[in-house]
């Protein structure tokens, strides 16, 4: 329902009567996202709009051993809780009780399942340091480079001499960008805050790096010389999150993704000209998500992922 800013309905599961089911509605409106009940006997326009539970993750119904009522299991953060649920009246009762701590999830799915006599779950992932490692074309490890760390979004420079990457800070709430010189096997910090920096991309000649920087509410687009000789320059600020994806081979256009929230829902692809008046324009803006786009080497095409 686009009027409710819904992007998907997910994770359906039947209730004991075999006619009703629970499902997760995902919306950019937090007042809409949550668990709802549907019925096989109702057409789409008559399905209930009553939210049973506010949640960004799916839920499981577990019947009691005596039948009738049961429990709705769902995650609050990484805490698995159970709340009495009446499947005939389709409503929650009483207060939620803690079942387990440190339960994992991925996207909208909690990593647990339950029956009347037991529970199986997977613990939440522990963030681990990773080591950058070379492999040859046959998959044989050929050595490591750099120090281990919480590294992501790494990009090789056009000449293959350096790697730029995002690295989480010690407090886990922010990130900075670092440069690794592959010949010297030495890393230097590239951004210094305030705010979180990340998702860097190289200019075609390697002289500049474009990246996202979140100083307040939204991720905005900045660029900075790769030698670090100057401060970063603001390229684009707006009331939405922006992620740089790549520059055209001639360096004239920056391809980037936009979204209304940091979970990257409702992503569209935009182009920012880096010459002239720098007025951005949409490349692909549909009701679907378009993401992870990249220019072809000749600059004539854009490859991207869509959930259409």
Residues 6+ apart with CB under 8 A from 80: 73, 74, 98, 99, 100, 101, 103, 110, 112, 119, 121
Residue 73 has pLDDT above 90, yes or no: yes
DSSP three-state, residue 89 = coil
The confidence score (pLDDT) of residue 168 equals: 84
Has residue 60 got a pLDDT over 80?
Answer: yes
Give the Cα separation of 86 and 90 in Å (integer): 6
Global pTM reads: 0.63
Return the SS3 of 3.
helix
Mean predicted confidence (pLDDT) in 53-58: 92
Calculate the average pLDDT of the chain: 91
Confidence label for 69 from pLDDT (cuts 50, 70 and 90): confident
Distance CA 235, CA 33 (A): 33
Three-state secondary-structure class, residue 240:
coil
Encode pLDDT of 251-292 as tens digits. 999 999 999 876 666 799 999 999 988 999 999 999 899 999
Number of helical H runs and strand E runs in the chain: 0, 29
* Alpha carbon distance 77, 110 (integer Å): 10
Reduce the DSSP state of residue 132 to 3 states and report it. coil
């Amino acid at each position: 329902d686009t009027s409710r800013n819904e992007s998907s309905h997910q994770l359906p599961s039947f209730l004991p009567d075999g006619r009703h089911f629970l499902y997760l509605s995902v919306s950019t409106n937090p007042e809409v996202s949550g668990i709802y009940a549907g019925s096989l006997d109702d057409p789409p326009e008559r399905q209930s709009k009553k939210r049973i539970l506010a949640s960004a993750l799916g839920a499981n119904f577990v019947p009691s051993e005596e039948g009738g009522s049961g429990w709705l299991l769902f995650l609050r953060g990484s805490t698995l809780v159970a709340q009495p649920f009446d499947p005939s009246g389709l409503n929650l009762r009483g207060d939620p009780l803690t079942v387990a701590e440190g339960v994992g999830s991925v996207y909208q799915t909690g990593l647990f399942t339950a029956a009347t006599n037991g529970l199986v779950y997977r613990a939440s992932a522990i963030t681990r340091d990773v080591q950058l490692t070379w492999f040859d074309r046959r998959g044989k490890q050929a050595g490591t480079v750099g120090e281990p760390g919480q590294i992501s979004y790494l990009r090789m420079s056009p000449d293959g001499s350096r790697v730029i990457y995002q690295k989480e800070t010690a407090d886990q709430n922010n990130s900075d960008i670092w440069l690794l010189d592959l010949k010297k096997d030495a890393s230097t910090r590239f951004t210094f805050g305030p705010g979180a920096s990340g998702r860097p991309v190289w200019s075609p000649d390697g002289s500049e790096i474009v990246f996202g920087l979140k100083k307040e509410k939204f991720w905005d687009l900045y660029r900075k010389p790769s030698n670090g000789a100057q401060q970063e320059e603001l390229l684009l600020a707006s009331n939405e999150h922006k992620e740089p994806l790549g520059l055209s081979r001639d360096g004239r256009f920056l391809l980037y993704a936009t979204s209304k929230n940091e979970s990257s829902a409702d992503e569209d692809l935009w182009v920012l000209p880096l010459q002239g008046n720098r007025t951005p324009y949409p490349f692909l803006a549909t009701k679907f998500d378009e993401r992870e786009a990249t220019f072809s080497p000749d600059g004539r095409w854009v490859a991207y992922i869509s959930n259409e």
